Structure 1
Amino acid sequence: MRILIIDEMHSSIIPMLEKDGHHVTYSPKITREEIIEQVGDYDGLIIRSKTPMNRELLEKASNLKFIGRAGAGLDQIDLDFMAERGIQLFHAAKGNRDAVAEHAIGGLLALFNHLIQADSEVRKGIWDREGNRGHELMGKTVGIMGFGNMGEAFAKRLRGFGVEILVYDKYKQDFGTDRVQEVIWEKLKAEADVLSIHVPLTPETRGFFTLEELKSFHKPFWLINTARGEVINFKTLNDALDLGVLKGAVLDVLENEKFQKFTSEQKEEFEKLASRGNVIFSPHVAGWTFESYEKINKVLVKQIREAFGKSKS
């Protein structure tokens, strides 16, 4: 098959596909206009998140058999139109789930133990032990919203910490074990000390966490979001932190990740959020490790091979 790669990928993807007999065009600097112009010549597309895979583009993809998404999120892909056209979708959530899980644990431990604040103070000659007294994860109840690849990997990493794990997933049932308790949303809200979000961005999850929703938790809690920033906005986070509804937050994703395109309200609310010592940020890199960069390729190539076999050309 002829395969077009439109985003930066680990270099191993090309020989892996060529070994199976495919003809690969690697064009990470290609523009959307050029993609629309050329996509009709290809059987496969491998993407990250450069440009939306919407009807405008897919209508030009007359020969397309598959799209391979080098990541987990599918919110920029017109899944309904792909189904109409019989275009298969492969995605590589298994390739970066371990990275996401470890990042979430690391952020939570850093938040609990004031590691960023403590490091900054010691570098300035400030030796404040009491001001940096931390919390232990052991004995806490950790709630997980969403039990797909990422949520399950996070739960596995928690097992050695002596915590109770409660999981809510609206679309999965009968996944509970002796270590993971499957619960309804109300029970999770009643008992969680920590909530980690692992849901895709959909019309249902966009803006799901309103202030009222957060206030319906029975006790103040710490929040981890390595999923999608649009599930909770800056103002809601600030209001919840001001009210003590949230004790702190680990945020790998933001409602708007293009600082230069902030609205005036977003700019004001983000600056307030960024001034808080009980909020830890990272630039959407939870799933972006040196290891996952290569593992994603292996996951995608395996799916392509299983669906289409090896080319004879």
Structure 2
Amino acid sequence: MNVLIIDEMHESIIPLLENEGFLVAYQPDISRKEIIEIIPNFHGLIIRSKTPMDRELLEKANQLKFIGRAGAGLDKIDLDYLRENDIALFHAPEGNRDAVGEHAIAMLLALFNHLGKADAQVRKGIWHREENRGEELAGKTIGIFGYGNMGKTFAKKLRGFDVKVLAYDKYLRNYGDDFVSEASFEQIQQEADVLSIHVPLTDETKGFFSIQVLEQFQKSFYLINTARGEVITFDALNEALQRGILKGALLDVLENERLNSLSTAQKHSFLKLTERENVLFSPHIAGWTFQSYEKINQVLVQKIKAHFHTFSLKD
């Protein structure tokens, strides 16, 4: 099978695929137009998120047997088209779930302990202790919204912090375990001191955390979003922070991450967020570690190999 890789990948992806008998074309700088021109020659496609896998492109891929998504999110892929045409889809959330869990905790502890502000002050010769008095995680209730790979791993990472962890997942049943208690969303709204979002972007989750949903929380709480920015708008975040519904926000993802293409309204709203000391940002790097970069490849190739195990690709 001929496989086309259209995004920058850890170099290990090529030998991993070749060892399973695939013929690999590595073209990370390829344009969408070029992909459309050559895709009829390929049986497999390895992607990240640069190029949407929409119907226009996929209809040109008349020999395509599978797509491998090096990461977790599937929101830029026409899943209906894949099902209609019996094209297999593999992704690798197992490869970066540890990184995401660690990053979420790191952001929370950094905000609780004012590490960014305190570091900047000390570098300037300022030694203010009282205004940098921290908040302890111990004793708090953590709500997890979505209990898939990322949510489960985040819950495991919280073990040892002496917190109560509640998880809500609309599509699971009987998922309480050693790390979380199964909860309704209403229970999380009543009890959570911290809410961490771990759901994919779908029509259902896009804009889910409206101000109307947020104001139903019974306590002022901290929000962590390492999932998809579109689940909550800049405006909803600003209003919730302004009104004290949110004590703080930890944002690895944004409603619009192309900061040079923000609308006028988005620019205004984003600027307000950047001026808030109780908001901490990172540039969509929660799953972006040196280790996850390689682990994603390993997980992805193992899944592809398992799917095609009924025959030898080398024959």
State the TM-score bracket (shorter-chain normalisation).
over 0.9
Q: Which position in structure 2 is the counterpart of 1:42?
A: 42
Aligned length: 313
**Identity of aligned pairs, percent?**
64
Structure 2 residue ranges without an equivalent (≥5): none
Q: Does the alignment pair 1:312 with 2:314? A: yes
Q: Which position in structure 1 is the counterpart of 2:68?
A: 68
TM-fit CA distance, 1:19: 1.0
After superposition, give the CA deviation of every residue in 1:267-286 in whole Å (9 maximum; x if it has no partner): 01111100111111000000
Measured in 1, the distance between the counterparts of 2:314 and 2:226 equals: 41
Measured in 2, the distance between the counterparts of 1:249 and 1:128 equals: 23
After superposition, give the CA deviation of every residue in 1:42-99 in whole Å (9 maximum; x if it has no partner): 1100000111101101111111000000010000000011000000000010000000
User: How has the CA–CA distance of structure 1 residues 57 and 197 changed in structure 2, closer, same or farther, with 3 Å as cutoff?
Assistant: same
Q: Does the alignment pair 1:58 with 2:58? A: yes
- Superposition misfits of 4+ residues, deviation over 2 angstroms: none
Q: Which position in structure 2 is the counterpart of 1:205?
A: 205
Q: Which position in structure 2 is the counterpart of 1:106?
A: 106
Measured in 1, the distance between the counterparts of 2:50 and 2:36 equals: 13
TM-fit CA distance, 1:178: 4.3
Measured in 2, the distance between the counterparts of 1:47 and 1:179 equals: 33
Measured in 1, the distance between the counterparts of 2:234 and 2:124 equals: 30
Helix, strand or coil: the match of 1:223?
A: strand
Measured in 1, the distance between the counterparts of 2:161 and 2:182 equals: 19
Q: Which position in structure 1 is the counterpart of 2:139?
A: 139
Measured in 1, the distance between the counterparts of 2:12 and 2:285 equals: 20
Contact persistence 2:156–2:179 (CA under 8 A):
no
Helix, strand or coil: the match of 2:160?
A: helix
Measured in 2, the distance between the counterparts of 1:260 and 1:141 equals: 37
Contact persistence 2:201–2:228 (CA under 8 A):
yes
Q: Which position in structure 2 is the counterpart of 1:5?
A: 5
Correspondence 1:123-138 to 2 at 5 A: 123-138=123-138
TM-fit CA distance, 1:199: 0.3
Q: CA RMSD in A?
A: 0.7
Q: Which position in structure 1 is the counterpart of 2:217?
A: 217
Helix, strand or coil: the match of 1:167?
A: strand
Q: Which position in structure 1 is the counterpart of 2:122?
A: 122
Structure 1 residue ranges without an equivalent (≥5): none
Measured in 1, the distance between the counterparts of 2:117 and 2:269 equals: 21
TM-fit CA distance, 1:17: 0.7
Q: Does the alignment pair 1:231 with 2:234? A: no
TM-fit CA distance, 1:102: 0.3
Measured in 1, the distance between the counterparts of 2:36 and 2:113 equals: 49
Q: Does the alignment pair 1:165 with 2:165? A: yes
Q: Does the alignment pair 1:277 with 2:277? A: yes
Give, as a single letter, the amino acid of the residue that structure 2 aligns with 1:250: L
Helix, strand or coil: the match of 2:166?
A: strand
Give, as a single letter, the amino acid of the residue that structure 2 aligns with 1:104: A
Measured in 1, the distance between the counterparts of 2:188 and 2:71 equals: 28
TM-score, length-scaled by structure 1: 0.99
TM-fit CA distance, 1:202: 0.3
TM-score, length-scaled by structure 2: 0.98
